[in-house]
Amino acid sequence: MGEEVKMSEYEGGVDCGDEERVLEWEAGLPSVDDLTPLSQPLIPPELASAFSISPVQYRTLLDVNQASEDTLSSLRGITQSPNIFKSLGESHESAVVEADENDRDGSGSDSRKSRKIMDCAEEDDSALPVDNSGDDPAARTLKRPRLVWTPHLHKRFVDVVGHLGIKNAVPKTIMQLMNVEGLTRENVASHLQKYRLYLKRMQGLSTEGPSASDQLFSSTPVPQSLHEFSTASGHSNGHSHGNGHFQVPVPIPYPPVMPMPVLGMTHHGHGHMGMPVGAPPKGAVGYHHGFESHHHHHHPFNMLQQQRDWSGNNYGSVVTYPHVARSDK
């Protein structure tokens, strides 16, 4: 499995104006519950035990989280055209209503009102008609539309980063493990940079929740393995497994994700989702550098702030559609 993937050429430079093309690379992930836990038996037991992969507590929180993700995980038949970049003139609507309030009890809150959109997700993401079996230099050269870090994508990102450990989580590796078609190293690097800032900011405030501006980031729990400067790829999931012999990055059995291009509409007419987020005083947070070099002071941060579980909410769900209502049927 080292199949390199290519995408068809993306229409280049016709109207290379200042027009901003935003694509959303939505993961056509089947069932989120499936993808989430890395505790899947797909990982060799040896490795699993070696790294002591923890299947726990991912769920409860994510559960809520995914209820919303679930919501917008839809997409269908854009496979018609191999040209994923420009094949998005189609009508794919995903208007979603938010899932009102969730109970603050993150434990067994199953009150998910996962509502599906009409379009069901096709699960043929593994059978993508990526017919470019050759090489397509254009795909690598031409300018691509901006990547939209959808909650799903971000989730994958965090998953990978979390399981790599701070030390091994470098753009290239992350990119490879994420296994998302068309994702570039730059994409990841940029996101990673921002993510690191987020993590650092979080460390500054041990008791406060994430700021309201951290929608994307705060929506995904930070893997515990990320909190330390573990020298190896080990996971400190509550087990003092100091000896990390293997530095082999655990391959994550993610199915390939097909990017779903979506013309970004420059309108988001909504300020807040009606969240009374008591925005913590942000601003005078002292950053320092080397958060993985020295600085021997770290607590197990538990940023599972459920007092305001915007954890799973409705951003992104506001994928309104310009006009096309339903040319389909």
Partner DNA sequence: GCCCCAATAT
Partner DNA sequence: GATATTGGGG
Binding site for DNA (CB under 7 A): 18, 20, 143, 146-149, 169-173, 185-187, 189-194, 196-197, 213, 215-216, 287, 289, 291
Using the minimum distance from each CB to DNA, give the nearer residue, 196 or 241.
Answer: 196
Buried b (16+ CB within 10 A) or exposed e, 22-33: ebbbbbbbbebe
Please identify, using beta-carbon distances, which residue of 8 and 187 lies nearer to DNA. 187
Which one, 106 or 162, has the nearer CB to DNA?
Answer: 162
Query: What is the rounded distance in angstroms from the CA atom of residue 55 to the CA atom of residue 159?
Result: 12
Q: Shortest gap between Cβ of 199 and DNA (angstroms)?
A: 10
Q: Whose Cβ is closer to DNA: residue 210's or residue 221's?
A: 210
| Nearest distance from C-beta of residue 206 to DNA, angstroms | 20
Q: Least distance from C-beta 188 to DNA, angstroms?
A: 8
| C-beta of 64 vs 175, nearer to DNA | 175
CA distances from 119 to 9, 32, 35, 76, 86 (A): 27, 17, 20, 6, 20
Q: How far is the CB of 175 from DNA (least distance, A)?
A: 8
Shortest Cβ 172–DNA spacing (Å):
3
